[in-house]
Amino acid sequence: MNDTAKLEKLAREHGTPVMVIDHERIRENYRAFRESLPRVQAYYAVKANSEPAIIKTLYDMGVSFDVASFPEFMIVYENIKKLPKKERQDFIWDKIIYANTIKQKETLEELDPYKPLVTYDNAEELKKIKRHCPHGGVVLRIKVPNTGSMVELSSKFGADPGEAVDLVLEALNIGLVVEGLSFHVGSQCNNFENYMQALQLAASIFKESESRGHKIKILDIGGGFPVKYNSKVKSFQTLARKLNTEFKRLFPEDIELLAEPGRFLVANSGTLITKIIGKASRSGKPCYYLDDGVYHTFSGIVFDHCTYPLKAFKDGEKRVSAVFGPTCDAFDTISVAEELPDLEIDDLLYAENIGAYSLASSTYFNGFPPAKVVHINK
């Protein structure tokens, strides 16, 4: 059976909309990451897709995790919990970083007994950590160039690099230990210069901090690793070669290197199958209405600035068509210019590379639930 026949079979068995997650793809992505960046421990960014089965597959391969909320922390902890009690505590830093620089007081209190690694990027947050999570280790996140990345993060997060060493010393003054420095170049980063500049900034901060009495031990290079959504995306292997050269040139051998890949590990593992539930012709253009839309699995169109070309299971002469989701809002528009053959109600369509930031931001708008999820090759 070829791949499309398998997808059609799964849609028949489970109904639509259905997201098929192929765990072999996830394992391949992780192997590629580890082989290309052997010095870097991957902390999977759970926000990209928090399906517990994905966490389990990655956990079993030795991956660590970046979480950004207490519920995400607990999804990962479900796996750690199986270890003997004695080992759990030593293990926690090796397995989890809480990488949301802004945390509710209540969350910090919930985290404190686990003595986690948490990030910060300002003095107010430091005071909060000291008061509500005094047993945590801290990692300072700096702002770095995000130019040309698909999702920009630097306007919301990151200390100005010029203030970094003062923020490190301030943490030490109030009795917290700064274990590391982190940054994020923006998600789906196709401009590798962002990483090069970020490493240069980080190296200066490492040096200055050491000269002022505190040696930072961890460098966390965040996420951003590009997924081959189309032929314009540059190769991850090229990026990895550049990173390895710069690690060697700019940093001491004994620092620990971390990264927080999200989409790189899961985007191409997800294929969505959706059904045509309505059809119309408006101003001469074929319009198809699907059982999934931008309030659901296609939410990445809005939040992730991503596009997911739709493919039909049928051949035929293609026409520019509009494709909408099932809700009663006109905003629920998947595409106004999709090249599709002539299709009928009940025909299926599929979208590949939709495993990251899709299910994760799906809503129940209009009473339509998120797509079903089917895991294969677990």
Ligand X SMILES: Cc1ncc(COP(=O)(O)O)c(C=O)c1O
Where in the sequence numbering do the catalytic residues fall? Answer: 328
Q: Tabulate helix, strand, coil % of the chain (nearest 5).
A: 40, 25, 35
Q: Which is nearer to ligand X, 143 or 263 (CB)?
A: 263
Among 26, 48, 202, 243, binds ligand X (CB under 6 A): 48
Q: Is 29 in the site for ligand X (CB under 6 A)?
A: no
Touching ligand X, residues 98-127 (CB under 6 A): 99
Q: Are 345 and 290 in contact (CB under 8 A)?
A: no
Q: Which is nearer to ligand X, 303 or 331 (CB)?
A: 303
- Least distance between ligand X and beta carbon 260 (Å): 4
Task: Tell me 159's DSSP state.
Answer: B
Strands 178-182 and 137-141: parallel
Which run of H or E residues covers position 205? helix 193-211
Q: Is 95 in the site for ligand X (CB under 6 A)?
A: no
Q: Is 143 in the site for ligand X (CB under 6 A)?
A: no
Q: Is 184 in the site for ligand X (CB under 6 A)?
A: yes
C-alpha 221: how far from chain center: 14
Among 192, 229, 264, 350, binds ligand X (CB under 6 A): 264
Which of 114, 112, 121 shows the shortest CA–CA distance to 140?
121
> Angle 23-36/52-60 helices, nearest 10 degrees?
40
Q: Are 151 and 188 in contact (CB under 8 A)?
A: yes
Q: Is 225 in the site for ligand X (CB under 6 A)?
A: yes
Q: Is 223 in the site for ligand X (CB under 6 A)?
A: yes
Among 54, 75, 117, 153, binds ligand X (CB under 6 A): 153
C-alpha 70: how far from chain center: 17
Q: Is 270 in the site for ligand X (CB under 6 A)?
A: no
Q: Which is nearer to ligand X, 73 or 264 (CB)?
A: 264
Which neighbouring-strand residues pair with 139? 119, 180
Among 22, 66, 179, 338, binds ligand X (CB under 6 A): 66
Q: From the CB of residue 24, how many other CB atoms can be counted at a distance below 10 Å?
A: 12
Q: Which is nearer to ligand X, 101 or 335 (CB)?
A: 101
Residues in contact with ligand X by CB under 6 A are: 45, 48, 66, 99, 153, 184, 187, 222-225, 260-264
